[in-house]
Amino acid sequence: MNSSFRPTILTVLSDLPLSDAASADLVQSGYDVKPIQAIAEVLPAVGERPDLVVLEECLGKASGLELCKQLRLAGVAIPLVLVMEHDSVEDRVACLEAGADDYFVKPYRSDPFLNFVRLYLQPSSATPGETLKFDSLVLDLATRKAMRSDRVINLTMKEYDLLKFLMEHPREVLTREQILENVWGYDFLGESNVIEVYIRYLRLKIEGEGEKRLIYTIRGVGYALRDA
């Protein structure tokens, strides 16, 4: 990692062995780490604009999911990653509804976790004004925001990656395996139906009431971005 740039990662982990292990691995990999256990300290710490926040699903008597929601309601746009106990469809939906960008499932494993962090801290290589366009949908590659019919659409990082991949291959039928490989580029340990969860939420954002459907399900195969 370039020594002139040290991303800051805020960890909010009540599991002390997990917090210690994650902090040690992150520091050794060249990151600045700010571990926090007290919920009251989170919002002021986020105000210092870390590059990534890692939250545990259960924070003692508090809920990491609720904290995630509160941060989003407060206007926090920093990537938020939840550490979850389980990897079920219900858990994935809960993460998305809380406003999390993604989730990492216990037990803690150093290499997958560090690969996960690197993926989220990878800066955009796009130049200002660089876009992808399909029908009435425009994706700004520098700001990672979408626009449709003069409506600005804020996306989580994973939603952005998924939409970008679809827009890079317009009208092509993309299999679930292709999407997992290209969008979930780290050592993905979950099931392929994670895609269905993200497609559902992406559709809710880009296909508003009365707007034409753009993302089509190709039964038994995958998905395609089509204008008819």
Q: How far is CA 222 from CA 77, 79, 180, 199, 216, in A?
A: 30, 27, 11, 11, 9
d(CA 106, CA 25): 16
Distance CA 217, CA 225 (A): 9
Q: Strand 145-148 and strand 151-154: pairing?
A: antiparallel
Alpha-helix residue ranges (DSSP H) falling in the chain: 16-28, 42-46, 64-73, 89-98, 110-121, 157-168, 176-183, 194-206
Q: How confident is the model at residue 2 (pLDDT cuts 50, 70, 90)?
A: very low
**109 pLDDT band (50/70/90 cuts)?**
very high
Give CATH 3.40.50.2300 domain extents, the chain. Answer: 8-121
Does the structural domain 131-225 have CATH classification 1.10.10.10? yes
pLDDT in tens, 6-23: 899 999 998 899 999 999
**Residues 124-147 pLDDT 10s:** 677 778 999 999 999 999 888 899
- d(CA 91, CA 84) in angstroms, rounded, equals 8
| Residue-wise pLDDT tens digits, 192-221 | 577 888 899 899 999 987 889 999 999 999
Over residues 168-194, mean pLDDT:
80
DSSP state of 5: -
Cα 4 from chain centre: 26
For the domain made up of 8-121, the CATH class stated in words is: alpha beta
CA nearest neighbour of 205 among 127, 136, 150, 151? 151
pTM of the model: 0.75
Residues of the chain with CATH 1.10.10.10: 131-225
* Residue 57, Cβ density class (10 Å: 0-12 exposed, 13-18 middle, ≥19 buried): buried
